[in-house]
Amino acid sequence: MEIDASAPSVARGEIEIAAPLELVWRVLTDIANWPSWNPDVKSVSLEGPLAAGTRFRWKAGPGTITSTLQTVDPPHRIDWTGKTFGIKAVDVYELEPHEGGTLVRTAESWDGFPVRLFGRRLTKTLQEATDSGLRHLKLEAERQATAAAT
C-alpha cells in the first residue's frame, strides 16, 4: 500500500534512531502502548493481533480514528488506513538498518471533504503530527536501547 500522493494533504518525514532495527520495530508496532510514549496519542484499543486486517481505534487530536492494518512486514514495513470526521488517511512506515541504528521513513496522506475545504491548515497539522510522532518514537526507542545496554 502507498499513500495517495495526489491527496490534498500529504506529509513525509524521516529520522535516524540510535537503536537496533528490531527494537524500533517493537516500539512502533506495540500499538496498544503508543500512549505511554507518545503524548499526542491519548488512548488505543487494538482489536486483534498485529496482522493485516486488524482494526484499532485511537484518540489523537480532537477525534477518535478507526484504522485497519494493511501491511505488516516485520521488521521493515507497517501501514494502515484510517477514517475520522470524513477524512480518509493512509499511513506508511518503513524501517531499515542505518549506520549502526535504524532509519525510519514515514508518509501519510489525508483526503476527504474537510481536507479539500481546509487543505493548507490541515496539511500543516499533518506535518506537525508526523514530525512529533517521529521525535517521540526516537526518544522512546533510544531510551529503551540505553536501558538495555546498562
Q: What is the pLDDT of residue 120?
A: 84
For residues 148 and 34, what is the distance between their CA atoms, to the nearest angstrom?
Answer: 20
Query: Is position 2 within any domain?
Result: no
- Domain total of the chain: 1
Query: Is position 3 within any domain?
Result: no
Query: Is position 144 within any domain?
Result: yes
Query: Is position 1 within any domain?
Result: no
Could you list the residue range(s) of the whole structural domain that residue 81 is in? Answer: 9-149
Enter the C-alpha cell of residue 120: 493548507
Query: Is position 65 within any domain?
Result: yes
pLDDT tens for each residue of 41-85: 999 999 999 999 999 999 988 889 999 999 999 999 999 999 998
pLDDT tens for each residue of 112-139: 999 999 878 889 999 999 999 999 999 9
CATH of the domain at 66: 3.30.530.20
Measured CA to CA in angstroms, residue 78 lies from 44, 141, 143 at distances of 17, 17, 22
Query: Is position 4 within any domain?
Result: no
Query: Is position 129 within any domain?
Result: yes
- pTM (2 d.p.): 0.95
**Would you call 140 exposed, middle or buried from its count of C-beta atoms within 10 A (0-12, 13-18, 19+)?**
buried
